[in-house]
Structure 1
Amino acid sequence: MATETSGIDWQDAFENALYIPGAERYPPRWQSQAAAFRETWVNADLDVRYGDGERTLLDLFQPQGTPRGLAVFVHGGFWHKFDKSCWSHLAAGALARGWAVAVPGYTLAPQARISQITAQVGMALQVAAARVSGPIRLAGHSAGGHLVTRMACINAPLTPSVAARIDKITSISGVHDLRPLRLHRMNDVLNLDAAEARAESPALRDPRPDMRLTAWVGGNERPEFLRQTALLTEAWQEGINSCQRVIENDRNHFDVIDGLVSADHALTEAFVG
């Protein structure tokens, strides 16, 4: 009996850094830019606790004047890398447009399963939403793209009142079908089983119908991230208020987030426009 395989090298499919020139320079650059931003933006509440874990803290940056609403950025790192302190500068564009911006941290794998991280992001949203009134807009990068689209699902771990305030999601290079991750060596850290991979995959869940989605991805990204972006928009296009896919030319998985620092960039427009 013949056995058919997909022919996909799943180890290579998610290896972003191997295909980005100077990839090793990005993390220290992010940390430096984020630290400089926190030093200069004085209207901020740092390390607001929303849970019992060491990393269950969020930073809340306030604009000048009354906020137009709450914008939330959730960081990536395949659920097991980085923390909120690397990304503060990405609040700049939304703040310039008058939005308060929350940047939550969360417990990293393997100390937390992905389903637990999903629950923590829901808790962070509840706490941030209690501090800022008005509409809520979510953006997340890579694993953060997964986490914010999970918040758009009907079964998101949110109270009905907070869920109803979320009207727009921007997933940047998100992972929306987790099942291939079980075939990657990182699953030694994530410990995804088949049931959790399905349950936590936004592309396999029903979205709230009143949601607007932008799935954003760089044109120079690995084919798997282009596929994951297309997969979500195809799965959700008939189930939500509006759904669009944007491929930003000449951007890779690491620099695709850079637009968030500018108020007039199209990515910031997608986030809070």
Structure 2
Amino acid sequence: MSSQEQRDQAYENAAFIPDAQTYPPRWDADAKAFRAAMRCDLDVAYGDHARVRYDLFWPDTTAKGLMVFVHGGYWKARAKSDWSHFAAGGLARGYAVALPGYPLAPEVRISEITAHIARAVAALAAKVEGPIVLAGHSAGGHLVARMAMAGVLPASVAERVVRVQAISPVSDLRPLLGLTMNEDLRLDAAEAAAESPVLGQPLDHVQTSVVVGRAERPAFLDQARWLADAWETDYLILSGRHHFDVIDGLRSPDSAMMRLLIP
């Protein structure tokens, strides 16, 4: 195996997860059934791009606040509608739950995706009153961590954000510079540093947490630990969970993840 292949393999997930190919079709089916059963506003535009849309799910009673879940896919794959069912835990805890879409690499750079998610959170904040909590998985974990940092969200929105949970996040983008996927991401050293939450700090009033599966690839265990150490934050390691099922706790209102996110 070449040194390039070794570097790429460190950030490869599917090849190391049993029956990995079965997850996307199950996610798609569960998400479709969930949308059909819930009260929701689908494909609401927050900008001009075809992917700049969000889905917003409403609880049975008046919403206590807003939860936003940002999906992963290495900033270059998947879509908001693949993950609808992961709104279940937040809805059961009385929050409206939104899933924003965003343009993907190589069409846009990661810094542009960060700006799109900030606009999505601002648009959603105008729709739902109360406190705001953010959760994101993998690349989405990176994006919600960026929302916790100064100067990303409008001040009036940032002051309403109370908790942010980064699930299996890519918190330091600098190791991605040498990966083959960077042909799509187009990161340079300056952007990788500027977009790395591990090199910054969260806003003082935002309670943060980092979640990772114990069965994840070493690179993702490192990325999660780096952020937890840099931010001196709550750090939850889920036994037996890998990169594809580490988010399952979002479906249960009483999971350890949801108790951290919406106490």
Same fold at TM > 0.5: yes
In the alignment, which residue of structure 2 is the partner of 1:15?
12
Distance in 2 separating the partners of 1:272 and 1:75:
19
Q: Which of 138, 143, 150 in structure 1 is aligned with 2:139?
A: 143
Is residue 248 from structure 1 mapped to residue 260 from structure 2 by the alignment? no
In the alignment, which residue of structure 1 is the partner of 2:164?
169
What secondary structure, in the 3-state scheme, does the structure 2 residue paired with 1:106 have?
Answer: coil
* Cα distance change of structure 1 residues 96 and 130 upon mapping to structure 2, 3 Å threshold: same
In the alignment, which residue of structure 2 is the partner of 1:240?
none
Is residue 72 from structure 1 mapped to residue 62 from structure 2 by the alignment? no
Aligned length: 261
Is residue 93 from structure 1 mapped to residue 83 from structure 2 by the alignment? no
Following superposition, the deviation at residue 9 of structure 1 comes to 3.3
- State TM-score, norm by structure 2: 0.97
Distance in 1 separating the partners of 2:108 and 2:251:
30
What secondary structure, in the 3-state scheme, does the structure 2 residue paired with 1:150 have?
Answer: helix
In the alignment, which residue of structure 2 is the partner of 1:46?
42
Q: Which amino acid aligns with 2:235?
A: R
Is residue 231 from structure 1 mapped to residue 215 from structure 2 by the alignment? no
Following superposition, the deviation at residue 8 of structure 1 comes to 10
Q: Which amino acid aligns with 1:261?
A: R
Q: Which amino acid aligns with 2:10?
A: A
Q: Which amino acid aligns with 1:89?
A: H
Q: CA offsets, 1:26-76, max 9 Å, x none?
A: 1111111000000111x2100110011110000000101111100000000
* Cα distance change of structure 1 residues 28 and 133 upon mapping to structure 2, 3 Å threshold: same
Following superposition, the deviation at residue 206 of structure 1 comes to 2.6
Distance in 1 separating the partners of 2:88 and 2:63:
14
Q: Which of 179, 201, 206 in structure 1 is aligned with 2:196?
A: 201
Q: CA offsets, 1:160-214, max 9 Å, x none?
A: 1100000101111000000111111100110001100000001112321111111
Alignment of 1:99-178 (within 5 A): 99-156=95-152, 158-178=153-173
In the alignment, which residue of structure 1 is the partner of 2:22?
25
Is residue 258 from structure 1 mapped to residue 244 from structure 2 by the alignment? no
What secondary structure, in the 3-state scheme, does the structure 1 residue paired with 2:220 have?
Answer: helix
Q: CA offsets, 1:73-123, max 9 Å, x none?
A: 000000000000100000001101100001000001011100000000000
Following superposition, the deviation at residue 155 of structure 1 comes to 2.5
Q: Which amino acid aligns with 2:22?
A: R
Deviates more, 1:260-269 or 1:130-139: 260-269
- State TM-score, norm by structure 1: 0.93
Deviates more, 1:161-170 or 1:261-270: 261-270
* Cα distance change of structure 1 residues 7 and 191 upon mapping to structure 2, 3 Å threshold: closer
Following superposition, the deviation at residue 271 of structure 1 comes to 2.1
What secondary structure, in the 3-state scheme, does the structure 2 residue paired with 1:80 have?
Answer: coil
Distance in 2 separating the partners of 1:9 and 1:270:
35
Give the conservation status (yes or no) of the 8 Å contact 2:4–2:179: no
Which structure 2 residue ranges, 5 or more long, are not aligned?
none
List, as ranges, runs of 4+ consecutive aligned residues in structure 1 with deviation greater than 4 Å: none
